[in-house]
Structure 1
Amino acid sequence: MKNCPYCKIDVGGNLKKCPLCQSRLVGEDEEKYFPTQLKLKFQSFFFKLQLFIVWIVIISALWLDYIFKLPFGKYGGFHWSLLVLMWLFAFEFSIIHVFKKGMDASRIMSIVVVIVMAMVSVTAYYFGYLLFVLQWVIPIMVMCTIIANFVLCMVDKSGNAMVYLLTDLLVGIVPYFVYITLKKDCPIEWMICLLVSFIIFVGAIIFKGREVVGEIQRRLSV
């Protein structure tokens, strides 16, 4: 067993320094008290590595945009480095949720999809493709999320996939009624999304009827 010559305490395990005064311990190593968490060490290294790469990209983009005045192709009139900064912060926010304990697959996917939709919409606005994104990209992403959450509801027994599925179904239905209320023609893409939403809702009732009813009652307190 090791001991600290200054604090006069015995320290078990294989520590190199005294936990009280941080002086070097003397004596023989013993077996480790706790196993090495290789998974946590790998996750920590991966997180630090990607964070380092992200900051390299941020600094380089700001330098090229503000110092070197490098334009972003034929698109001008705005600082493109701010878009890069926005995307990378969104990426970091998503990474934090991926590694956060207690986050199930449905919640992570829903959060990431919402972030991506917001980032794509803002980016499309600056490049002049906002209408295309709102009428094509967003409906497709909503439909894919609905289908993915439906699959998770079938296989996930312990998560909260059902509440995210019902939320996505609501998102898929609301735009159609908004267009109808405003007395405008609903784009075919959102009409297809409405159709998919109803089909998935019927499937959820058939396969997971009790869970659907229970989730609705719990959320609406009825």
Structure 2
Amino acid sequence: MQYCEHCKVYLRGNRKKCPLCQNSLKMNGNDSEEVFPEIPVTYQNNVIFRMLIFLSISIIVMSFAVNAMFPTEVNWSMLVISGIFCMWISLGVVIKKRNNIPKSIVWQVAIISILAVVWDWRTGWKGWSIDFVIPIACVVAMIVMYVTAKIMHLSVRNFLIYMLMDGIFGIIPFAFLLLDILKYRYPSIVCTTVSIISLAAIIIFEGENIKEELNKRMHL
């Protein structure tokens, strides 16, 4: 058995850090084997995964074929490739963070926002990434996180910090409003409003839980 001095709990298995507070654990006894064997997750035999690979290749090939038959000034087949590349990056993050859905959602918002800005910049800046993608991604993430927590009956502590992070991230469009660099202001106004209301609700109703979680995560 292992013991966490910070959380005052005993843990089975052979862990280096406490899953609750991430502090280092002390060994008690000779229990050095994991309770459950570590089984590597394999995706190569997954039919859906193979279908996604086949679909991605097919779409790329067809986009080049159509672009060759109907040439235009814009090489939109490269946009298709960029979109598929973004999809696979997001999918990779979901797979890697599959054991922590709230954390995966926050990572998705960050990745989608960065990729959108890069894509917008590489295709001749139109501003759609900051006008629409970033504010919409933030609002959708907050909604999805809340719905996921209700459906999966997650405890408040399981998603509270990530909900707080997403709310803070959602205020970024407010900076765009202050800098007056937006062509379409409504998505950013809605995103900022929802984020401020969300943060106010979290701080007012879950202030003690936030403080306790921060103490554990920051090892205070």
Question: TM-score interval w.r.t. the shorter chain?
Answer: 0.5 to 0.7
Whole-angstrom distance in 2 between the partners of 1:221 and 1:71: 59
The CA deviation at 1:109 is 2.6
1:198 to 181, 196, 199: 196
Q: Which has the larger radius of gyration?
A: 1
Q: CA RMSD in A?
A: 3.8
In the other structure, the counterpart of 2:170 is 172
The alignment partner of 1:130 has SS state of coil
The CA deviation at 1:47 is 0.9
Letter aligned with residue 59 of structure 1: V
Q: Does 1:114 align with 2:116?
A: no
The alignment partner of 2:171 has SS state of helix
The alignment partner of 2:109 has SS state of helix
Q: How does 1:6-155 map to 2 (within 5 A)?
A: 44-65=46-67, 68=68, 70-71=70-71, 76-77=73-74, 79-100=75-96, 102-122=98-118, 130-152=126-148, 155=153
By relative contact order (CA 8 Å, sep 6+), the higher-ranking structure is 2
Q: Structure 1 vs Structure 2: percent identity of aligned residues?
A: 23
Letter aligned with residue 136 of structure 2: I
Deviations 1:115-135 (A, max 9, x none): 434444455557778334422
Letter aligned with residue 140 of structure 1: I
2:207 to 199, 203, 209: 209
Provide the aligned length of Structure 1 versus Structure 2: 177
Residues 51 and 69 from structure 1, CA distance in 2 versus in 1: closer, same or farther, beyond 3 angstroms?
A: same
Whole-angstrom distance in 1 between the partners of 2:164 and 2:84: 30
Letter aligned with residue 71 of structure 2: P
| Kept in 2: contact 1:87–1:119 (CA 8 A) | no
| Kept in 1: contact 2:138–2:191 (CA 8 A) | yes
Structure 1 residue runs of 5 or longer lacking an equivalent are 1-38
The CA deviation at 1:160 is 4.5
| Kept in 2: contact 1:152–1:161 (CA 8 A) | no
Whole-angstrom distance in 1 between the partners of 2:97 and 2:137: 26
Whole-angstrom distance in 1 between the partners of 2:172 and 2:106: 17
